[in-house]
């Protein structure tokens, strides 16, 4: 029996339907514009699709999970109750309740926390769990840029039903500036890497199911990349655990959220900014940029790594990009995206891009821009 925490952010996604591009700090405004809560219905879709019985759900009171579990008829224990607000106030819970519920779940030895919400909820949950406890998001928010979400409530249910309880991979938690976003400016940064349940790998041509070992794939990618690295080339290593594995193999330390520069087996810059990258680009003739797709949408450039700007890519050329990702990651993000901020530069990339997915192994992935 696995203990699973279940938290619903009941207001997630409300802003989207009424043009608010997010709900943080805008729940009243969303209600005023006629929005209705959407997350509870998605939470119920998730719970209704579960086919696993050996789960002990721990949840938060009322609309934060209790109502949804009760409605579907799944047994649960409430371990946190938000304060009762004024009945006339449409807002009965907030981010502090998500955090408090999450902390209670951690205290109660929860093996996994499932939440229904958006990027904001993911950030709140991750700020409590870090990498200690795996998390899985059921998408209900306006913005889903983080890589910790299932694609649909149903796929989340299937993932949990099939999960062996131990296989994990890394998912990005993205921080999106909502104020800027409402002004039409997408300003994303990487908040961190959470542990997420890794789904069973269904062999392409069979019904056979086995759990893939993602760390083995990451190791193979790192082995291959380090084999083809040249001494006359400057390498910019993007954010993420896959690129960190490359640095590990070279016995170098790497900032997991930033861009680091490596030359002749030495780190010559850590967490470097766009300006610093441009300075380096002027100094070196041969440059390769090694990146891994970020977030649920599989952005190669333009989300969470804006340091690799269009100015940088114009200097290094589109061929300087080496994309690395495990097959497990690519299964969830079949189409990759590039947004350098310059449509004409985006168009210089083809319709497909090679992604290194193992030792001397590449997948041709669709590319959108």
Partner 1 sequence: MYKYVHQHTKVYMITKILLDENEIPKQWYNIQADLITPLDPPMHPQTQKPVVPADLEPIFPKELIRQEMCQDRYINIPSEVRDIYALWRPSPLFRAHRLEKVLKTPAKIYYKYEGGSPPGSHKPNTAIPQAYYNMKEGIERIATETGAGQWGSSLAFATQLFDMECKVYMVRGSYDQKPYRKMMMQTWGATCVPSPSPDTNSGRAILAKDPNTAGSLGIAISEAVEDAATHSNTNYSLGSVLNHVCVHQTIIGQEAQKQLDMVDEKADIVIASAGGGSNCAGICFPFIKDKLDGKNPDLEVLAVEPAACPTLTRGLYAYDFGDVAGLTPLLKMFTLGHDFIPPSIHAGGLRYHGMAPLVSRLHADRLIDSTSVHQNEVFEAAVMFARAEGIIPAPEAAHAIRIAIDKALECKKTGESKTILFNNSGHGHFDLSSYEAYFAGSLIDYEYPADLIAESLKKLPVIA
Binding region for partner 1 (CB under 8 A) = 202-208, 210, 212-213, 216, 224, 227-230, 322, 327, 330, 354, 356-364
Q: Which two tokens stand for residue 130?
A: 């870090």
Residue (87 or 207) nearer to partner 1, CB: 207
- Cα separation of the two ends of the chain: 45
Contact (Cβ atoms closer than 8 angstroms) between residue 150 and residue 58 = no
* Residue 243: CB minimum distance to partner 1, A: 16
* Residue 61: CB minimum distance to partner 1, A: 41
Only one residue has tokens 């790594």, namely: 305
Contact (Cβ atoms closer than 8 angstroms) between residue 258 and residue 271 = yes
Residue (88 or 208) nearer to partner 1, CB: 208
φ, ψ for residue 206 (rounded to 5)? -145, 170
Which three-class secondary structure state does DSSP give residue 226?
helix
Residue (66 or 217) nearer to partner 1, CB: 217
* Residue 3: CB minimum distance to partner 1, A: 29
Residue (52 or 216) nearer to partner 1, CB: 216
Which three-class secondary structure state does DSSP give residue 39?
helix
Q: Which two tokens stand for residue 81?
A: 């109750």
Residue (86 or 334) nearer to partner 1, CB: 334
Which three-class secondary structure state does DSSP give residue 266?
strand
* Residue 167: CB minimum distance to partner 1, A: 12
Residue 50: CB partners within 8 Å, gap ≥ 6? Answer: 74, 157, 160, 161
* Residue 208: CB minimum distance to partner 1, A: 5
């Amino acid at each position: 029996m696995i203990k699973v925490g279940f938290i619903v952010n009941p207001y997630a996604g409300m802003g989207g339907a009424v043009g608010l591009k997010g709900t943080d700090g805008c729940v009243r405004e969303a209600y005023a514009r006629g929005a209705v809560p959407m997350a509870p219905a998605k939470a119920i879709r998730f719970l209704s699709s579960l086919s696993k019985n050996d789960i002990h759900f721990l949840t938060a009171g009322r609309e934060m999970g209790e109502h949804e579990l009760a409605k579907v008829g799944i047994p649960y224990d409430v371990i946190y109750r938000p304060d009762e607000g004024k009945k006339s106030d449409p807002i009965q819970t907030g981010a502090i309740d998500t955090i408090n519920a999450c902390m209670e779940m951690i205290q109660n030895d929860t093996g996994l926390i499932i939440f229904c919400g958006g990027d904001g909820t993911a950030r709140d949950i991750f700020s409590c769990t870090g990498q200690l406890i795996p998390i899985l998001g059921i998408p209900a928010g306006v913005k889903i840029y983080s890589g910790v979400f299932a694609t649909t409530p149903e796929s989340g249910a299937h993932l949990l039903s099939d999960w062996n309880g131990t296989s994990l991979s890394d998912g990005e938690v993205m921080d999106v500036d909502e104020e800027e976003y409402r002004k039409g400016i997408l300003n994303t940064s990487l908040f961190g890497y959470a542990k997420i349940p890794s789904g069973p790998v269904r062999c392409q041509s069979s019904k056979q199911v086995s759990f893939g070992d993602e760390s083995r794939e990451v190791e193979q990618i790192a082995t291959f990349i380090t084999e083809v690295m040249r001494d006359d080339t400057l390498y910019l290593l993007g954010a993420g655990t896959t690129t960190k594995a490359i640095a590990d193999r070279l016995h170098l330390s790497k900032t997991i959220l930033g861009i680091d520069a490596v030359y002749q087996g030495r780190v010559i810059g850590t967490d470097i900014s766009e300006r610093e990258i441009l300075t380096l680009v002027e100094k070196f003739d041969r440059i390769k940029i090694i990146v891994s797709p970020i977030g649920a949408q599989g952005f190669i450039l333009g989300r969470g790594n804006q340091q690799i700007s269009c100015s940088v890519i114009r200097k290094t050329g589109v061929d300087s990009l080496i994309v690395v990702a495990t097959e497990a990651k690519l299964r969830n993000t079949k189409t990759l995206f590039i947004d350098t901020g310059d449509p004409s530069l985006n168009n210089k990339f083809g319709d497909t891009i090679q992604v290194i997915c193992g030792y001397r192994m590449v997948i041709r992935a669709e590319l959108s821009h």
